[in-house]
Amino acid sequence: MNPLQKIGAFTAALAAAFGTAYGVGAALGPADPRTTTAGHTESHSSEPAAKTPPGDLLPAGLQVSQDGYSLDLETTAVPAGRSSLRFVVRDADGDPVTRYETAHGKQLHLIVASRELTTYRHLHPVRAADGTWSTPVDLPAAGGYRVFADFVPAAGSEGLTLGSDLSVTGPYRASPAPAPAATTTVDGYTVALEGTLAAGGESDLTFTVRRDGRPVTGLEPYLGAYGHLVALRSGDLAYLHVHPHEEAEGDGTSGPEVSFAATAPSTGTYRLFLDFKVDGTVRTAAFTVRAGAAPAAETGSGTHEETSHGH
Which residues of the chain form contacts with Cu ion (CB under 5 A)? 109
- Write out the H or E segment, with its range, that includes residue 21: helix 3-28
Closest to Cu ion by CB, 127 vs 210, is 127
For Cu ion, give the closer residue by CB, 121 or 233: 121
184-193 long-range CB contacts below 8 Å, 24 or more apart?
A: 184/285, 184/286, 184/287, 185/285, 186/283, 186/284, 186/285, 186/286, 187/283, 188/212, 189/216, 189/276, 189/278, 189/283, 189/285, 191/274, 191/276, 191/285, 191/287, 193/272, 193/287, 193/289
Cα distance between residue 260 and residue 240, in whole Å? 12
Which H, E and C letters describe 130-146, residue by residue?
CCEEEEEEEECCCEEEE
- Which residue number has the CB closest to Cu ion? 109
Check: CB of residue 160 under 8 Å from CB of residue 60: yes
Contact status, residue 123 vs residue 135, Cβ threshold 8 Å:
yes
Nearer to Cu ion, 109 or 277 (CB): 109
The CB-of-135 to Cu ion minimum distance in angstroms stands at 11
> Of the two residues 109 and 271, which places its CB atom closer to Cu ion in the complex?
109
CB 294 to Cu ion: min, Å: 29
* DSSP-derived 3-state class of residue 247: strand
CB of 219 to Cu ion, least distance (A): 17
In this structure, are residues 244 and 237 in contact, taking their beta carbons and an 8 Å threshold? no
Minimum distance of Cu ion from residue 309's CB (angstroms): 11
Q: Which is nearer to Cu ion, 59 or 125 (CB)?
A: 125
Minimum CB distance to Cu ion, residue 17 (Å): 54
Query: Which residue, 207 or 222, has its beta carbon nearer to Cu ion?
Result: 222
CB of residue 106 to Cu ion, shortest distance in Å:
5
